[in-house]
Chains A and B, each alone.
Chain A
Amino acid sequence: GAVVSQHPSRVICKSGTSVKIECRSLDFQATTMFWYRQFPKQSLMLMATSNEGSKATYEQGVEKDKFLINHASLTLSTLTVTSAHPEDSSFYICSHSRDGQFFGPGTRLTVL
């Protein structure tokens, strides 16, 4: 299957700071990547679809100015959580689609 990496795997930050999460497709040029969020004991919810060279498509209820997505190359998409607050603490996972979906290992964000 396809290989997707994420960095960092875990981050703790203070409230009000911004955090950038990287998602890399290691063996596939992905024109589209997806960002999901998972709160404890809950399932994954799609946040946005990241499109290479164009604007991301956000799901209803997801603030595009708070969750900035950049997909500048076919192998890298970044998610920046701006002015993070404790309620943004969650598990963020990216994926791309290639004969099914392949997910990164996830990033655990804790906002103090």
Chain B
Amino acid sequence: KQEVTQIPAALSVPEGENLVLNCSFTDSAIYNLQWFRQDPGKGLTSLLLIQSSQREQTSGRLNASLDKSSGRSTLYIAASQPGDSATYLCAVIVGQGGKLIFGQGTELSVKP
């Protein structure tokens, strides 16, 4: 059974710091991996999608890496801003059908 774990559960950093969020999964047979952002009481915003054949994806200040063999992904946020404060969710896509299995999320707070 696929399980997804995110560490840390919560993180508080001062503005401007670079930070790394971690995601691990137990079964390396994934189709894709996707990182999302969720603001309180809101839906999910897709940040980055990494295909299983890829090692990383970049979008602006965000960089996500994927190591299937070790069952790990990281989300790197450069020069963090207060507007980055949100919960970040990692999810693995199991099969071509698109079914997602989520981690518990990392609640990020960036202090001005």
Contact = CB atoms under 8 A, between A and B. Distances in A.
Interface in B90-111: 91, 93, 97-105
Interface size class of B (residues with CB under 8 A): 20 to 34
Contact of A46 (B41, B100, B104): B100
A46 B101 contact: yes
A42 B104 contact: yes
Given A43-B89, A105-B43, A106-B43, A100 B49 contact: yes
B80 interface: no
B31 to A, nearest CB: 10
A36 B99 CA distance: 10
Interface string A75-108: 0000000000000000101011101111111101
A44 interface: yes
A97 B46 CA distance: 12
A36 B98 CA distance: 13
A93 B98 contact: no
Given A43-B102, A101-B100, A93 B34 contact: no
Nearest to B34: A100
B104 A101 contact: no
Given A43-B102, A100-B32, A103-B43, 7 more contacts: A34-B99, A36-B100, A95-B100, A96-B98, A97-B93, A99-B49, A103-B44
